[in-house]
Amino acid sequence: MKDRGVILRIGINAAVFILLEVAALVMLQHNGPLQGIWISRGVHSFYAAVWGGADNVKSYFSLRKQNEALAEENFRLSQLVRTYREELGRPAGISDTIGPYRYIMANAVKVSNNKHHNYIVIDKGSEDGVAELSGIITSSGVVGIVDAIGKHYSYGRSFRNSDMVVSARIGREGPAGELMWDGMSSNGAVLREIPHHIRLHPGDTVYTSGFSAIFPPDIPLGVTGEATVVNGSTYNIDVTLFMDFSSVRYVTVVDNVDRDVISGLEEQDEN
C-alpha cells in the first residue's frame, strides 16, 4: 500500500508539472509574435520527429514484404535465365521444372547453426510438392537435404553435418571428389579424394558435379585453398564456402524426378 501511494503521488506531481508547462507555453505564445513563432517551430519540429519516427517504424515492418517480393522476382528471373541457357545448351541456373529437375521456392523458418548435427526447417511440405531426399539450395550453394516432410513444413539435414557429403568438382570440367563440412568453421569445408597428379590453383571455384541424384550440376559452392597430400595418392583441399548459413532465409527445393530410376539402376549394379 505504501508503494502504491508513492507511485500515485509521483503520477500526480508529473501530471501537475506537465499542465503547468503547457500553460506557460500558451501564455508565452500569446505574449508576442516572436515567441509565438518560436514555439510554433518547436511544436512543428516535434510533430515532424514523431511522424518521421512512425514512418521509419512502418518502413521497417514492411521490409519483410519487400524482401519476399524481391525474392519472388529473383526466382522468376532465374527461371527465365535457366530456360534460355538450357535452350542454348549452356549451364543453367534455377527454374521451376527444367529437364529432370523440379524447383520449389521456400522460406527457411528455422536454421540450426550451433551444433555438430545442424538442421533447417522450411515452410513447404508434401502438399506443396516437396519430396524426401530433395536438395535444398540457394544461389550461394548447397544448404542441405530434406529428411522428413509434413503437409506444409519440411525438416532438412544441413550441409553442416559430419555425415553430409556432396559430390563436387574443381571448375566446371575438373576432377570430382567428396565435399564435406570441416566440422569447425561456419564457412569451411574439405574436398577429398582429388587425384594427386592434378595441378591445383588456389582460388579455383568448386561446383556441384551433377554425379549425385540429388543436386544438379554447376551450382557454385566455394573456392579452393590449401591442399594436403593423403597417403601419397590424393589431396584433401580446404574450401571456403560461399554460403553464409547464419543468414539463410530464402531457399529453393530441388527434386530430381528421375531419382528413383537412377537409384534402381545403381542397386541393380551393386547386386
- How confident is the model over 128-170, as pLDDT tens digits? 989 999 999 988 899 999 999 999 999 999 999 988 999 999 9
Question: Which CATH number is 99-270's, of 2.40.10.340, 2.50.20.10, 2.60.120.200, 3.40.50.300?
Answer: 2.40.10.340
CA-wise closest residue to 255 among 95, 143, 131, 124:
131
Q: Do 75 and 252 meet the contact criterion of CB atoms below 8 Å apart?
A: yes
**Strand, coil or helix: what is 81?**
helix
- pLDDT tens-digit readout, 50-75: 444 544 545 445 555 555 555 555 55
Instruction: Identify the pLDDT of residue 240.
Output: 95
